[in-house]
Amino acid sequence: MTMKKKLLISLFLAVVLAGAGADTFVLGTLKGPSGVGLAPMIVEPVTLDNGIPVEVVALGAPDVMVSRIINREVDAAVLPVNLAAKLYNAGQPIRLAAIVGNGMLSLVSRDTGVGNLADLGGDGVYVAGQGSTPEFVFRFLLDKAGLSGVQDRSSGLASTEVGLNFSMPYPEITASIIAGRIDHAVLPEPFATMAVLRGQGAIRKAADLQELWARVPGNEEDYPMTALVVRRDVVEDEPETLELVLEAYRESLETVLADPQAAGPVVERSGLGLQAPVAAQAIPVTNYVYIPAVESRQKVEGLLRVFLDFAPPSIGGKLPDDGFYLR
């Protein structure tokens, strides 16, 4: 074979391989609880009815996912709702396709004297994810209980203040309350369930923040925490593929919810960082949902208004307009 023929064959293969890569739909999710609904698709990758394979990539941090979105390295992604709104308001061409996780926060405590948020006055609480939904939902509910969330300090908290400590991530907070190094924490699932299970009776869920949210006049019965967003060009150029991907996501989530005990080992094998027993126990209380964007707008805006009250820049300074919601 001549050198010219070899070169032509090499170029042909490069074009074919590049085309094959471009035909893969890349769906990004975050490690931890956000990705649980996609665990079956991670363990057993899906090929859509139109022949396009779906690759689910699990990343460790939201900022890494944002970079992938901006660089067009993922076609769709699972993100915190406020971050999705902030990206859209900053001009990123994304659309909210669905809410895939509602509120899943609990106040867990070693103190049997804490029966509601009002009992926390003058004490400190560990909250992970400064600037995210757990912080601002908790601040909002403290305010409704007549308390103010302030930066935690070693002493000098007034009886109307609750010190918020953001110095540890969820896994470390969970380990610390189990070990008895801290007394109170706001944790999402499955970390709240993990703390209770491993606390050997010394730790309990002292307050369900979703129940407290629903009691506030004018609030919806729940608030969204996790969103599925899609690049605008995918919406416009690949509507058939997108519809198939959304259906595959729904089916994957339904599989997880239908049998949590069977789903536990799948979640562990998926590499999301959750052990099978904890995942199986937490799935029924983790509030996974699939709500299309057009049906979720009122709940989304209810949560985002809380962000506007406490920290407008955290969502880009305004509520997203109609173009944010995929129709």
Partners of residue 108 on adjacent β-strands:
185, 205
- Say if residue 249's pLDDT is above 90: yes
Query: CA 300, CA 81: separation in Å to the nearest integer?
Result: 8
Residue type, 51: G
DSSP 8-state symbol, 48:
-
Structural domains of the chain ordered from first start: 22-102+224-324 (3.40.190.10), 105-215 (3.40.190.10)
Whose tokens are 């779906």? That residue is: 54
Host H or E run for residue 21? helix 3-22
Tokens of 160: 């109307």
Contact 211, 134 (CB under 8 A): no
pLDDT per residue as tens digits for the range 10-40:
444 444 444 444 489 999 999 989 999 999 9
pLDDT per residue as tens digits for the range 114-165:
999 999 999 999 998 889 999 999 999 999 999 999 988 767 899 999 999 9
pLDDT per residue as tens digits for the range 293-314:
999 999 999 999 999 999 999 9
- Segments in 112-259 forming alpha helices (H): 133-144, 170-179, 191-198, 209-215, 232-237, 239-258
Tokens of 114: 């804490």
Partners of residue 286 on adjacent β-strands:
none
- Residue 1 has a pLDDT of 53
Partners of residue 149 on adjacent β-strands:
162
pTM for the complete prediction?
A: 0.88
Cis geometry, peptide bond prior to residue 190 (ω within 30 degrees of 0) = yes
